[in-house]
Amino acid sequence: MSILVKMLVVSSFLCCSFSWVHSDAVIDNEDERAAFKAGRIRYTVAVKGDEHLSVFAEESYIDLYINESNSKLEFNLFEGLANLQVLQLEGSSTFQMLFDIPTIVEKTVVGVDEKQFSLVDLDDIHENKAPAAVYQSFKKIEKRAVRVLGHKCYKVEKKIGASEEGDCRLILTMASKLKVETALPFSNYLDDLEGIPLEIEIHYPPLIIKMRASSITKQHVKDVFFEIPENYQRKTKKELKQHLEHILDQENSPKKSIGL
């Protein structure tokens, strides 16, 4: 795979990592959790298993913004080469995905229903042609609590699929006392987990993608921050999928090249 397609793979995994957060088995019974009504949580990103992506990921970060009505995940990837945003707006049954990935998807917005979230078949992108993901419940993997940024956390894990090189796993480090009252992107999948993930680790052999919260800032975030820019073009989910399939067809064609 070229760096271009690898960027698409990692971008998709980072986004999907939040949609995989679902549990019907893990419950934390500690003290009342601290409210987090408005502010930002920043996550750093690290990639192992690919030399090029590891270098690009060094300058990547993810911001989760929250106010009393809305929330936004903003992925700033590969030294600013790519930007992906996921907006959950008050009163909306869908979330809005904003793409700005040069030469792949530029300044495009798509509305997506959580229950039908599947923009790209990752198995078609990954050269290993891995079988479809097997979704399981989370299991607690460490008896003793760990701490991230001073917050007491517990770790959970579940299998999300398999590749030719091994099982694909999602590992979360959850801050059980951090309470978010605003609906989050993919909140349909977050209902049964206590708290907010401060570490997210995806094992998709040979890749290991890890996100870790580096700061938690409580501050007011204005509603205008969640507005969709006027220069973004709206597409349907079907139109975006067809566009991505066209890009991948070009990538796989010996006569065409869209590599960086």
Query: Tens digit of pLDDT for each residue in 179-197?
Result: 777 777 655 554 467 788 8
DSSP 131: P
User: At 108, is the secondary structure helix, strand, or coil?
Assistant: strand
What is the CB neighbour count within 10 angstroms for residue 55? 13
3-state helix, strand and coil shares in percent for the chain, rounded to the nearest 5: 20, 40, 40
CA 226 to CA 87: how far, in whole Å? 7
State residue 37's pLDDT score: 87
- Quick one: how far is CA 193 from the chain centroid? 16
Please give the C-alpha separations between residue 51 and each of 40, 204, 207, 218, in angstroms, as whole numbers. 30, 15, 10, 36
The answer to whether 120 and 245 are in contact (CB under 8 A) is no
Does the pLDDT value for residue 177 go beyond 80? Answer: yes
CA 51 to CA 53: how far, in whole Å? 6
Question: pLDDT-based confidence at 62, cuts 50/70/90?
Answer: very high
Percent of the chain with pLDDT over 70: 71
Question: pLDDT-based confidence at 2, cuts 50/70/90?
Answer: low
CA 30 to CA 136: how far, in whole Å? 25
CA-wise closest residue to 53 among 125, 128, 3, 1: 3
User: At 54, is the secondary structure helix, strand, or coil?
Assistant: helix
CA 113 to CA 201: how far, in whole Å? 25
The structure's pTM equals 0.78
Does the pLDDT value for residue 215 go beyond 90? Answer: yes
Does the pLDDT value for residue 211 go beyond 70? Answer: yes
Least confident residue range of 16-20, 39-43, 99-103, 121-125: 121-125
Residue spans of the domains in the chain: they are 3-252
The answer to whether 124 and 8 are in contact (CB under 8 A) is no
